[in-house]
Every structure is written in structure tokens, then in C-alpha cells.
A = this chain, B = another copy of it.
Amino acid sequence: MKSKKPLKLASVRPEIREAESDTDRLVTELRRRIVSHEIAPGARLRENQIAEEFDVSRGRVREAFGVLEERGLIERIPNKGALVTRLEADRIEELFEVREFLEAAMVRLATERGTRETWERLLNVFGDDLAEAVAGNDFDAYMAAIREFRGTCIAVAENETLKGLLDSIYDRVQGMTRRLVLVPGRAMAGFHQHRDILIAMRDGDADRAEQLRRENLRDARAWFQKYQSYLL
């Protein structure tokens, strides 16, 4: 099963290509699998197995484990091994608490720095079409709209540090979030909350937008608490 590692050839487009080490590729791919729950929370990660699959040495795998651990995606126990982080209820609550403030920051900065047109365009995304889709349980449409909202906000906010922190949190809670929208009524509530936030943003009312975003996160947290036995 072991394939010979080919010598590294010069890239076809050396002027464009950005160097990416084996470790970087490992981090990227393992992150993807963990975030998507392709590898389940609590699952054991064996250095040997991963090294063989990606055809690299265990040293690379260990390096990748180090950064995944730092990101909170895996936990390592010395001399025992690495496990995909399993979020307990209290840790999820913590993440909701922190998110409430970081999302508030995102919405405030975006409101202050964005143009009215930006939010009008986003308001069209959160229009009656999406309302109908959500009413018909089209979660893909809803999730896509949410993603666009967040992507636009974080781009307009122009704060790489904030972006990094929020991305890291999204990575950790993505699995739970996807289940949360399944709870009857949650998606529709979220839809209306986002629409209200966008109206405040369009009107340039940063205080109100920030306040509404915080309420939105607190509400999401309340739904999580109510249905947590189904969500964990």
C-alpha cells in the first residue's frame, strides 16, 4: 500500500505558486475533515495511519497535530495520543458567550465601514424568497444566506484579527450549528433576526445593529439550551 514519494519537481507555475509544505497540507485537510465531522468528535487520531495515508513521515503529522491542538480542534494527551475535540455543553455555552461579543464587534465595524448599497443588496438575499424557502425547510438556502451575511460583514469590517478569531470559533461550532437549524422554528427566527439586523445596518444605526446581533446570539444560545439533549 506504500507508494514511493516522488521527488519534488519544480512547480509548473513557479511565479504564481506559493510554497506550501506537507505540514500545511496536512493541517488544511485534517481541519476540513474535523470541521465537517468526517472524522467524528472523540475519534482517535493515530500518527502512523495518517502518515501512511498522506504518504509523509510521522514528523510532519506531529507538526500538524501541534497547530490543530492550538486551534482547539484536537486534544493531545502526552504519551497517549490525539483525539478530535468533543465539545461539552459548558464549553459550547462559553463559545456562545464569546461569540455574542465578537459578532457584535463584527456587525458594528461593518456598519461603520460599509455602504448603504452593501446592506441593501444583502437585504435582497434575506427577502421573501428566502422566507418561503425557510418555511419550506430549505436549510441549504438558509445556510448559504447566513454564510453570505457573515462573509460580507467580515470583509467589510476590515479586521483580520477579528476574522481569524471568528473563523476559529466557527470551525469549532459548525457541527452543532448545523444541527441547531433543524430545531423547528429556529431557522425562521434566525431569518427574521438577520433581516432586522440588516435593516439597522442599512440605516447606519450601528448601536442598534450591534444590540440586535447580541440578542440574536443570546436567542440562539437559549434554543441550544432548550434542545441540547438533541444537539450534543
Contacts and interface: CB of A to CB of B under 8 A. Distances in A.
A104 B102 CA distance: 10
A159 interface: yes
A105 B98 contact: yes
A23 interface: yes
Contacts of A69: 67
A100 B105 CA distance: 9
A62 B71 CA distance: 17
A79 B19 CA distance: 8
A159 B70 CA distance: 17
A78 B91 CA distance: 35
Interface residues of A, number: 30
Contacts of A67: 66-67, 69-70
A91 B163 CA distance: 13
Given A66-B66, A66-B67, A78-B19, A161 B105 contact: no
A63 interface: yes
Name A's interface SS: helix
Given A159-B94, A161-B94, A66 B23 contact: yes
A206 B161 CA distance: 26
B102 A98 contact: yes
A97 interface: yes
B78 A20 contact: yes
Interface string A112-124: 0000000000000
A162 interface: yes
Interface in A161-204: 161-162, 165
A63 B64 CA distance: 8
Interface of A: 19-21, 23, 59, 62-63, 66-67, 69-71, 78-79, 91, 94-95, 97-98, 100-102, 104-105, 109, 159-162, 165
6 contacts: A23-B66, A70-B71, A97-B159, A98-B105, A98-B161, A101-B102
Nearest 5 pairs between A and B by C-beta? A19-B78, A101-B105, A70-B70, A94-B161, A101-B101
